[in-house]
Structure 1
Amino acid sequence: MNVANEVVEPIENLFNPASNEYLENPAPQFLALARRGRLVWYEPWQAWIMTRMPDIMDCWRTEYLSSDFYDWEFAPERPPEDKWSNYERAMIGHSLVADHGHHRMIRKVVSPAFSRNVVDEIQRRIKPDVVKLIDSLGDLESFDYIEKVANHIPFITISRMVGLPEKYWPEIKQVVLTFTEAWNPTISDERREAARQDSNRAIEILQRVIADRRANPGESDFLSVLLEIEEENESFSDWDIITLILALIGAGSDTTLIAQQWTLYALLKHPEQIEAALETPDTFSNAFSEVMRWSYASKMGFARYAPEDMEVLGQQVKKGQMVLLMPHLKDHDPEYYEDPERFDVKREFKPDVLFGYGPRYCIGAAMAKRQLYLTMVELFKRFPNLSLESEPVLDNSEHNAVVFRELLVRTGINK
């Protein structure tokens, strides 16, 4: 069919994550965007959107686009090396995000730090804190899960996982809350600088903790495993340890909070599937992929940047332009998933791309899923009759995700 003379409706009329229609049901907007083409220019975001899974997986696998935030045309100017603080030394000089070769090397040497045994040990370490947090709810008949539980889990998990002494927790808690703001150009210069200074203070603490742990070994936490790896690999340094921990903070704060609320909401909407979902860590791993597929949490996806003027999927992309990889566009597509509106914790994912694919597959995925599994298990053990008190009000103010303003639940303790 000849479409050269057809009037094509602007894509921003069909896809608008800021709209009320998106909050009510974004699936039609997902499909409209994906059907527009493999690579679509989206004016409101000044970015290209990559819509099809084979293309996204190829981009992840071959890494022909840059992951370096400073390659973005709208990024703050890259500071010269003589102006670097510790934050820039970590995020530029030893960036696991920007340098593809270094990233692959680090993944190879640190893989023992993410083994099943280490993840089991981390669960053992964080369990008492999670149990204490949930027990502190006492005999409440109802509560806001986000306020009382979800907001606290990322900090507890990261601190115990890394092995940070509790005396440093107040200062580290601040950077867990603000770290991702340090490279967010959409906020004020003052706010971004405050987050950068939070990160600098956190790095100073990490340097002290690393020095102390090296002088007094014996712990079985994530940091100790990394120090053992450092001893056996000349190319692996303290700065690599610091950037790995910062990466865990970045990935484990906002995303974990979002995952916490959507996971509980999905399970409470489908109580007949809770037992199957929480049977084992492995069954939960699969169930969590279904939670995030079924949810409408994702909005923008994964950012990449054109390192030079180049052709991408038949489109001329200019140096510095953002390319957003948006795998969630497939999540409610009946051509990709059978009966996509049905929630099924036993649904098969082949491949499972929730945490990326290829060399950019999230190395901390197992840890993230394990702390979610532990929280859900302990929550339903404490409150086996837990239910939704009301449908949560969706909050569309986050630039990268749809979240809940609150998630009110009833404990059922008086039943």
Structure 2
Amino acid sequence: MSEKHAYHSLDQATDQYPLALDDLAEPPARYAELRDKCPVVPVRMPSGDHAWLVTGFDEVVAAMTDSRLSRAALRDPGAPRVIPGPDFGDNPYNLLSQEGPDHARLRRLIAPAFTPHRARQWRERVEQIADELVDDLVAGPRPADLHGSFAALYPIRVICEMVGAPYEDWPRLQVWTERLVSITAGTVEERLAAREESAAYVAALVAQRRANPGGDLLSALITARDDQDRLSERELVWLGINLLVAGHDTTVSALSRGLFALLRHPEQWELLRTRPELTDQAVEELLRYAPPSEIGFLRIATEDLDLAGTAVAKGEGVIPVMHAVGRDRRHVSDPDVLDITRTDAKHLAFGQGTHYCPGAGVARMELRVALATLTRRLPSLRLAVPAADVEWIGGLLTVRPRALPVAW
């Protein structure tokens, strides 16, 4: 491994963040060089501000578990920002932008809905949803769009049932999500409109559930708000938005990108089809090899600190790219090879530290069910176009194709 280089100033930035995907939706080729030579490097963000980009496995873990790197400090006057204009980081009620006791309190409130036990309880219904969507896929035209007709609908349908939102509202949820997770793909006006419209939508759902409570997660959060006063009304609304957006968006991307990876390596699809006991391993390998994003969440240093030999000054931004670490050769053998039988599929797809994804267990279950259903129902599934012809959408937090044409 090459000797690592340490930068001394953010003014030395030459890379533009976010880095562009490589061909075939592969991670940015620059990541491999940075992990080997300089896992902490200054970058220029779309806003024009600078930050430290972190790409190595050990370095990302260190950044994500350092309490001196704060998401809440994004709201401090003069703090660097990823994009010009308002975004999720400006909202003090957004779970992703909180730290400390308030963050811990909100996570405790939603934790019961995402335990492994609850994931097992949901599995039968999730299997039914997957089968119903495959029924529709089979009855439709061919080639079929595996992204638009399955991968993009399946997680939305699951989270709508869990939260208590009408599934027929999914087109609106999809539009709001794409605008809210936009980095360079949308305008400030679109982001603001999506924020206001989604908040009004969830507020209306809250009113409906107050009048007619059910067994869904939103009804449970309303009980916590009204009976025990553990939530403010704005916290309740934004928890609903967090659950609806974060509860499906990354799963959509993980599923579409993972299926694309499997289908462009047909020997891996065949292996999974003939050895269904590999499904759990396959999910972990796909999260490592083809994670749902190549973007990190900006944090702000609340004091001077040392990060892997790089001096980070108070007030400077740090972007630990948790999805860049799955190909760190210090931890994974032959990291550029997709191998669903591997036992060293180390990744940080669900984060690390206090912001570890609370829905990781449910997301894993959804991905396992999707792979099991598709290999069982459509064993001859294959790409209907050359892999290089699949077009990928840029400018979003997550990675997804415009369409994923398949045949069987």
**Residue 343 of structure 1, CA deviation:** 2.2
- The alignment partner of 1:409 has SS state of strand
- The alignment partner of 1:353 has SS state of coil
CA distance in structure 2 between the partners assigned to 1:159 and 1:402 by the alignment: 22
- 1:199 maps to amino acid: S
2:179 pairs, out of 171, 178, 181, with 181
**What is the 5 A alignment of 1:208-223?**
208-214=207-213, 217=214, 219=215, 221-223=216-218
CA distance in structure 2 between the partners assigned to 1:316 and 1:2 by the alignment: 15
In the other structure, the counterpart of 1:135 is 135
Structure 1 unaligned regions, length at least 5: 5-9, 80-86
- The alignment partner of 2:293 has SS state of coil
**Residue 250 of structure 1, CA deviation:** 2.5
CA distance in structure 2 between the partners assigned to 1:76 and 1:26 by the alignment: 25
**Residue 143 of structure 1, CA deviation:** 1.0
**Residue 363 of structure 1, CA deviation:** 0.3
**What is the 5 A alignment of 1:2-401?**
12=14, 17-18=19-20, 26=27, 28-43=29-44, 46-68=50-72, 69-71=74-76, 72-74=79-81, 91-93=91-93, 95=95, 97-139=97-139, 140-165=141-166, 169-170=168-169, 173-179=171-177, 181-182=179-180, 186=184, 187-214=186-213, 217=214, 219=215, 221-226=216-221, 234-236=229-231, 239-268=234-263, 269=265, 270-275=268-273, 278-279=276-277, 284-295=279-290, 298-307=293-302, 312-317=307-312, 320-349=315-344, 352-392=347-387, 393-395=390-392, 397-401=394-398
CA distance in structure 2 between the partners assigned to 1:58 and 1:91 by the alignment: 26
153-162 or 397-406, which moves further after superposition? 397-406
**Residue 225 of structure 1, CA deviation:** 4.7
Q: Which has the greater radius of gyration?
A: 1
237-246 or 373-382, which moves further after superposition? 237-246
Q: Provide TM-score, normalisation by structure 1.
A: 0.78
- 2:261 maps to amino acid: A
Change (3 A) 1:183 1:255: closer
Change (3 A) 1:62 1:315: closer
- The alignment partner of 1:301 has SS state of coil
Contact 1:125 / 1:160 at 8 angstroms: preserved in 2?
no
234-243 or 132-141, which moves further after superposition? 234-243
Identity of counterpart residues, as a percentage? 25
Contact 1:303 / 1:324 at 8 angstroms: preserved in 2?
yes
- 1:382 maps to amino acid: R
- 2:272 maps to amino acid: I
**Residue 164 of structure 1, CA deviation:** 2.4
- The alignment partner of 1:273 has SS state of helix
What do the CA deviations read for 1:145-202 (whole angstroms, capped 9, x no partner)? 1122222223212211112245xx43x6413431463475744232122212222222
**Residue 66 of structure 1, CA deviation:** 1.6
Change (3 A) 1:238 1:123: farther
Contact 1:181 / 1:195 at 8 angstroms: preserved in 2?
yes
CA distance in structure 2 between the partners assigned to 1:58 and 1:277 by the alignment: 37
Contact 2:289 / 2:326 at 8 angstroms: preserved in 1?
yes
Structure 2 unaligned regions, length at least 5: 7-11
May I ask how many residue pairs the two structures share in their alignment?
387
Q: Provide TM-score, normalisation by structure 2.
A: 0.79
- 1:158 maps to amino acid: I
CA distance in structure 1 between the partners assigned to 2:26 and 2:377 by the alignment: 33
